Amino acid sequence: MSPRDSDPDSRGSGRPADPAFPDDDHGLELEPDCTRCPALVDARERISWGNGPEDASIVVVGEAPGYGNPDADRWKGGNWTGKAYTSRHSGRRIRRLLERVGFGDDAYYTNAVKCFPSEARGASESASGETASHDPADETTNREPTPEERSNCRPHLLTELEVVDPAIVLATGKHATKTTVRSEE
Convert the pLDDT of each residue in 52-62 to its tens digit: 999 999 999 99
- Residue 7: what residue type? D
Q: How far is CA 1 from CA 16, 17, 27, 72, 170, in A?
A: 15, 12, 27, 21, 33
Contacts of 162 (CB under 8 A, 6+ apart): none
- Global confidence as pTM: 0.79
Would you say residue 185 has pLDDT above 70? no
Identity of the residue numbered 16: P
Residue 117 has pLDDT above 50, yes or no: yes
Distances (CA, A) of 143 to 12, 65, 90, 103: 36, 11, 16, 30
Confidence of residue 6 (pLDDT cuts 50, 70, 90): very low
Order of strands, sheet of 58-62, starting from the edge strand that comes earlier in the sequence? 107-111, 58-62, 168-171
Q: What residue type is assigned to position 179 of the chain?
A: T
Task: Kindly state the helix (H) or strand (E) to which residue 157 belongs, with its residue range.
Answer: helix 147-164
> Quick one: pLDDT at residue 79?
86
Which has more pLDDT, 20 or 99? Answer: 99
Give the chain's domains with CATH numbers: 38-181 (3.40.470.10)
Span 121-175, pLDDT tens digits: 544 444 444 444 445 556 677 789 999 999 999 999 999 999 999 999 999 999 9
More confident position, 22 or 103: 103
Q: What is the pLDDT of residue 162?
A: 95
Q: What is the pLDDT of residue 2?
A: 36
**Across 4-13, 22-31, 112-121, 124-133, which has the greatest mean pLDDT?**
112-121
CA end-to-end span of the chain, whole Å? 51
Q: Is the pLDDT confidence value at 19 over 90?
A: no
